[in-house]
Amino acid sequence: MFYKSTRNSNLNVSGSMAVLKGISDDGGLFVPNEIPKITLDDIKNIAALDYADRAKFVISKYFTDYTDEEIDHCTKNAYSTANFDTDNIHELTQLGDNMYLLELWHGPTCAFKDMALQILPYFLTTAAKKQNFDKELVILVATSGDTGKAALTGFCDVEGTKILVFYPEDGVSAMQKKQMTTQDGSNVAVCAIKGNFDDCQNGVKKIFTDDSIKAHLENKMAAFSSANSINFGRLLPQIVYYVSSYATMVDTEQIELGEKINIVVPTGNFGNILAAYYAKLMGVPVNKLICASNANNVLTDFINTGVYDRNRKFFTTISPSMDILISSNLERLLYLLCGENDDTIKEWFGALSTEGKYSVSDDVKAKLQNDFVAGYCDDNATKSTIKSIFDDYSYVADTHTSVAIKVYEDYVNNSGDTTKTIIASTASPYKFCSSVLDALGVDTANMDDWAMLEKLSEISSTDVPAPLAAIKSKAVRFKETIESDNMPEYVKNFV
């Protein structure tokens, strides 16, 4: 299996090289040159395995240049109960007849990003050995909140790496900010940017392709890589949990082997839902993929009209990890849908960067609508969903998951579809305590962050996640805020 770029179909690099580089030199994203297939029998067989071995099964189909031992090393270290608070790594919780929440936040930072960022450092350090790569890897991260902490945790004190995280000053929750700015480790740094997530992401993308910064790194015997979902090594572990959760549904007799399911994903950068699409292409029986957005509904409009237009107001919402107007991973989907035509992709994404807008062909739009349904909801609807889910099921869902639940409820009301449905639950409600408590009608005016954690614990009859409780006693290490124009300088000084 080789990897090519969405902007150069003739490229041919190995899986380990794609992971090391993160993004292709032409600015495109790495994609496998074919999607490996799995059978229903495979799915039945992996149901008997633990999560690490399920992951090994899927990963070995894509990273054919890694040996069995190497993949074992990655999966066993990443997916262990030393890092996750449940043996199953993920949990499937049924709410209502056809609705299942796939809880992906049992890792060390309480967000689904851990599913990929616990294993990415192993992929990378293994890849560096395989490629005889003797430079220091500098991981640059743009985060809307959860990726930053998950990446810092994954790479903390990993030999041969350094990690620098940029986050939007006012675009993350209080807990997300504390999680990042108190991070331990001698190889880490965290810096706030004046601007929103798109400014951070654009800044990082520019730095990746800036020749003068690259030269500076060469001099220091260092090179960039990415822990954002532009790195295929981030996407691959996300494909695993869709295959795995389908196997669990069959194993627990929630569905028959071969029965189609829907998958709903609260979406920002389009990475998580793209992973679900890859799972479908591999052979997991999927009916509809439902793309849920908050008030930043650029993807809803795109899927419904075929026109991607980022020229619109940016909203700061209570689901901040979805406050994104430029969804990077859409490029991978469109590359597949347009018949892997790199010229078409260059044209559309060129228009996106110059005019902020592009329209896809009718053919691509039809294919898009065949697999995807899209919807969105605002903060008020998100809050009333948190409340109604709690009233009906005594279950507290976080703000992002609640956007997905609301969009799913609207979809069912419109379509009457009774297909069993998995909703990706992407964060623990404890990460977004003040919004969640507010939705539940609790007056938080006189509570500090820790009082809020306790209150949510009392209301939901669940324990405060240990990693969040531990932050209380930690000192803030990183206090700097800079203009996005100063990011290149900041990076040079860090390296």
Ligand X SMILES: *Cc1c(COP(=O)(O)O)cnc(C)c1O
Distance in Å, CB of 173 to ligand X, minimum: 10
If the CB atoms of residues 89 and 151 are measured against ligand X, the closer one turns out to be 151
DSSP class of 111: B
125: left (phi over 0), alpha (psi -120 to 50) or beta: alpha
Q: What is the CA radius of gyration of the chain?
A: 21
Q: Is 113 a catalytic residue?
A: yes
Cβ atoms of 403 and 382 closer than 8 Å: yes
- Options 22, 203, 266, 375; binder of ligand X; rule CB under 6 A: 266
- Options 153, 226, 269, 293; binder of ligand X; rule CB under 6 A: 269
- Options 78, 193, 295, 322; binder of ligand X; rule CB under 6 A: 322
Is 321 a binding residue for ligand X by CB under 6 A? The answer is yes
Distance in Å, CB of 379 to ligand X, minimum: 15
**CA angle, corner 411, sides to 276 and 426, nearest 5?**
40
Report which secondary-structure segment, H or E, holds 134.
Answer: none
Distance in Å, CB of 435 to ligand X, minimum: 12
Nearest to 23 by CA among 147, 211, 209, 200: 209
Q: Which string of b and e fits 386-400 if b means at least 16 CB within 10 Å? A: bbebbeeeebbbbbb
Report which secondary-structure segment, H or E, holds 434.
Answer: helix 433-439
Is 300 a binding residue for ligand X by CB under 6 A? The answer is no
Q: Which region, judged by CB under 6 A, interacts with ligand X, from 85-93, 153-161, 267-275, 408-416?
A: 267-275
Cβ atoms of 151 and 165 closer than 8 Å: yes
If the CB atoms of residues 427 and 487 are measured against ligand X, the closer one turns out to be 427
Cβ atoms of 5 and 31 closer than 8 Å: yes
- Options 28, 32, 154, 271; binder of ligand X; rule CB under 6 A: 271
If the CB atoms of residues 179 and 262 are measured against ligand X, the closer one turns out to be 179
Residue in the structure block whose two tokens are 């994404």: 349
Joined tokens for residue 371: 């697999």
Q: Are strands 136-142 and 222-226 parallel, antiparallel or unpaired?
A: parallel
Which residues in 226-265 contact ligand X (CB under 6 A)? 229
- Options 267, 293, 297, 402; binder of ligand X; rule CB under 6 A: 267
Is 111 a binding residue for ligand X by CB under 6 A? The answer is yes
Distance in Å, CB of 464 to ligand X, minimum: 18
Q: Which region, judged by CB under 6 A, interacts with ligand X, from 80-88, 114-122, 270-278, 463-471?
A: 270-278
If the CB atoms of residues 280 and 400 are measured against ligand X, the closer one turns out to be 400
How many C-alpha atoms does 163 have within 13 Å on its Cβ side?
A: 30
Cβ atoms of 265 and 289 closer than 8 Å: yes
Helix, coil or strand: residue 239? helix
Is 14 a binding residue for ligand X by CB under 6 A? The answer is no
* x/- track of binding to ligand X for residues 408-427 (CB under 6 A): ------------------xx
Joined tokens for residue 199: 């400014």
Q: Which of the following is catalytic: 21, 56, 113, 367?
A: 113
Is 59 a binding residue for ligand X by CB under 6 A? The answer is no
If the CB atoms of residues 111 and 337 are measured against ligand X, the closer one turns out to be 111
Number of residues that bind ligand X (CB under 6 A): 16
Is 146 a binding residue for ligand X by CB under 6 A? The answer is yes
Is 375 a binding residue for ligand X by CB under 6 A? The answer is no
At a CB cut-off of 8 Å and minimum separation 6, what does 436 contact? 386, 396, 398, 399, 429, 456
How many C-alpha atoms does 265 have within 13 Å on its Cβ side?
A: 23
Report which secondary-structure segment, H or E, holds 420.
Answer: none
If the CB atoms of residues 175 and 491 are measured against ligand X, the closer one turns out to be 175
* Distance of alpha carbon 248 from alpha carbon 206, whole angstroms: 42
Q: Where are the beta strands (DSSP E) in 271-332?
A: 286-293, 307-309
Is 400 a binding residue for ligand X by CB under 6 A? The answer is yes
If the CB atoms of residues 121 and 266 are measured against ligand X, the closer one turns out to be 266
Distance in Å, CB of 331 to ligand X, minimum: 13
Q: Is 218 buried (19+), middle (13-18) or exposed (0-12) by CB count in 10 A?
A: exposed
If the CB atoms of residues 203 and 268 are measured against ligand X, the closer one turns out to be 268
Distance in Å, CB of 167 to ligand X, minimum: 12
Is 154 a binding residue for ligand X by CB under 6 A? The answer is no
User: Which residues are annotated as catalytic?
Assistant: 113
Applying CB under 6 A, the residues found at the interface with ligand X are: 111, 113, 146, 229, 266-272, 321-322, 400, 426-427
